[in-house]
Amino acid sequence: MIFRVIKKEELKGLFEMLAAENRVIGPVEIGQDRNAAPIYGFEQVSDFSRLRLEYTTTKLPAKKYFLPYKEDMAAFRLAGRDWEKTVDYNSDAPNIFFGLHACDINALNKLDKVLLAGTYPMPYYAAKRKNMFIIGIDCEPQPYCFCRSMGSDTVMHGFDMFITDLGENYFIEILSDTAFNFLKKINAAEPVEADHVRYMKAASDRHLKFSTHVDTTDLTKILDMEFQSDVWKQWGDRCLSCGTCANVCPTCYCYSVEEHVAIDLLSAKKTKMLYSCNFIDFAEVAGGHNFRPDRHSRLKYRYYHKHRGFVEAYEEPLCVGCGRCGEACLAGITVPEVISSVRGGMVKHG
């Protein structure tokens, strides 16, 4: 692993070099909430001053750039007696992500396991994923973050460079040749021992700021034991089946496919849309039978996929502890509270 240190003012030069020839996506302020606190989102940025690298958490994850909420998969046109099929993986230009937090990079690494290395790789995802350059940046833990409990507060791979704020300087971890070559074009120095000490102090200070913890000890076994528990019914009674939790989740990838045929029957297209396992018809099959007609069974299976099934398949949960779902849920359903209640804690009503 190679490290470099740059003066903070050098980052603007790096951004401008990248933005000169590429599409750069980064955190920007997109509005304010009712308490006048900033709301952040990932958007295309061409002006460095718009970037908000000190952002908390974006409302939506970056997945719209590699798992769009709606995407045409194929178009068909009748040509004589045959259909002509056109497939577009919608990956026209590289995306440079400037300032992803560790949890969101870990989310991508988890998606890769299913959508790149799984039994049925998804070429639409692969085309965009392989066309990315990722600059990670450290974050300030928020009260709703529990990434540390999920092992996602730091990240080992899946990025090109990762930036840590050391006050006057940035400490940069480099994982790719491309990143190394970009950094050669700005004023970057090899770190000295004092930089290592500052880095370790920054890391330990940050670890102390995590205030929400989820006990994952033996969680897969506990979930097996508590499959019939009343807590699922209690949380299900509150769930609105709105699907917001899946939409804001950086690791949810379930989708539905619709086929549209033009009224003249000469053309058609197949469209993929991100879906939520909490929607009432998620488990409805041809003939009308619904395997999960109850809210509590749908909510339960979402938790079992993330904290039981995925762990069995990949030895890690399909949750990075970003806290977005709990923050966005109008019913106040949060992962730490649900898991605590399954472990024997009380279900809070409110």
Q: How far is the CB of 285 from ligand SF4 (least distance, A)?
A: 21
Q: What is the dihedral of CA 15, 19, 20, 21, to 10 degrees?
A: 130
- Our CB check for ligand SF4 shows the closer of 191 and 323 to be 323
> Of 255-263, 266-274, 286-294, 331-339, which segment contacts ligand SF4 by CB under 6 A?
331-339
- Our CB check for ligand SF4 shows the closer of 165 and 316 to be 316
Phi-psi bin for 279: left (phi > 0), alpha (psi -120 to 50), beta? beta
Among 28, 274, 325, 342, binds ligand SF4 (CB under 6 A): 325
> Of 120-128, 156-164, 266-274, 327-335, which segment contacts ligand SF4 by CB under 6 A?
327-335
Q: Tell me: does residue 321 bind ligand SF4 (CB under 6 A).
A: yes
Residue 171, φ and ψ in degrees, nearest 5? -100, 130
Q: How far is the CB of 29 from ligand SF4 (least distance, A)?
A: 21
Residues in region 223-262 near ligand SF4 by CB under 6 A: 239-245, 248-251
According to DSSP, the residues that pair with 258 across neighbouring strands are 271
Residues in binding contact with ligand SF4, number by CB under 6 A: 26
Residues in region 287-316 near ligand SF4 by CB under 6 A: 299, 306
- Cα(first)–Cα(last) distance of the chain, in Å? 48
Q: How far is the CB of 181 from ligand SF4 (least distance, A)?
A: 33
15: buried, middle or exposed (CB in 10 Å: 19+, 13-18, 0-12)?
buried
Q: Tell me: does residue 53 bind ligand SF4 (CB under 6 A).
A: no
Residues with Cβ within 8 Å of residue 161, at least 6 apart in sequence: 135, 136, 172, 173, 174, 175, 176, 179, 183
- Our CB check for ligand SF4 shows the closer of 136 and 243 to be 243
Q: What is the dihedral of CA 110, 330, 34, 27, to 10 degrees?
A: 10
Q: Tell me: does residue 27 bind ligand SF4 (CB under 6 A).
A: no
Task: Confirm if 146 and 324 have CB atoms less than 8 A apart.
Answer: no
Residue 207, φ and ψ in degrees, nearest 5? -60, -35
Q: How far is the CB of 310 from ligand SF4 (least distance, A)?
A: 11
Distance CA 215, CA 232 (A): 18
Find the helix packing angle between 177-184 and 10-21, rounded to 10°.
120
- Our CB check for ligand SF4 shows the closer of 132 and 325 to be 325
Q: How far is the CB of 309 from ligand SF4 (least distance, A)?
A: 14
Distance CA 302, CA 242 (A): 13
> Of 46-54, 131-139, 184-192, 318-326, which segment contacts ligand SF4 by CB under 6 A?
318-326
Among 60, 67, 114, 319, binds ligand SF4 (CB under 6 A): 319
223: tokens are 């979930």
Q: Tell me: does residue 62 bind ligand SF4 (CB under 6 A).
A: no
Footprint of ligand SF4 (CB under 6 A) = 239-245, 248-251, 278, 299, 306, 319-325, 329-331, 333, 335
